[in-house]
Amino acid sequence: MQVLYTIAIILVVIIVYVVVNSLRLKKAVSNLTQDQFIQGYRKAQLIDVRETKEFDAGHVLGARNIPSTQLRQRYKEIRPDLPVYLYCQNSGRSARAALFLKKKGYNQLYQLQGGFKTWTGKIKTKA
């Protein structure tokens, strides 16, 4: 009986964590479809938060690479007064990057819904 009670408490804690985290994400970043992303990214700072090897293999034309693993050291390279368009492979890293930037005072944060894996627009590769 004690084991079931403990498992129930752990499940409740996990569910609460997931709900709170998803609400924080929703407040930090706006998800954009590819069409919405294309409409606005040329007037914004386009940041690819994937690792350098992923970026070099192919990235959205005009994107700048600031890997999520380096964001804490390099976030000041991103202007807080301009919109920031983020993407990664699937949206997980860009969402976490948006949360971090939101804490640092950035307010115009957008991410590509579905990430680079869903991108069908122009790309550039490093030859």
CB 45 within 8 A of CB 127: no
Residue 127 has pLDDT above 70, yes or no: no
Q: What is the pLDDT of residue 22?
A: 65
CB 68 within 8 A of CB 88: yes
- The rounded mean pLDDT for the chain is 90
pLDDT classification of 16: cutoffs 50, 70, 90: confident
Share of the chain above pLDDT 90, in %: 68
Q: What is the mean pLDDT of residues 13-26?
A: 73
Instruction: Kindly report the CATH number assigned to the domain that includes residue 36.
Output: 3.40.250.10
Residue 37 has pLDDT above 90, yes or no: yes
| Residue 15: C-alpha distances to residues 2, 8, 10 (Å) | 20, 11, 9
CB 63 within 8 A of CB 47: yes
Query: For residue 101, what are the domain limits?
Result: 2-124
Report CA 5 to chain centroid distance, whole Å: 37
Closest-CA residue to 88 (of 123, 120, 51): 51
Among 19-33, 48-62, 81-95, 112-126, the least confident range: 19-33
Sheet holding 84-87, edge to edge: 30-32, 109-112, 84-87, 45-48, 64-65
| CA distance between the termini of the chain | 62
Provide the whole-model pTM.
0.80
What number of other Cβ atoms are within 10 A of residue 68's Cβ?
19
Task: Give the chain's domain count.
Answer: 1
Spatial distance between the Cα atoms of 45 and 62, rounded to a whole number of angstroms: 9
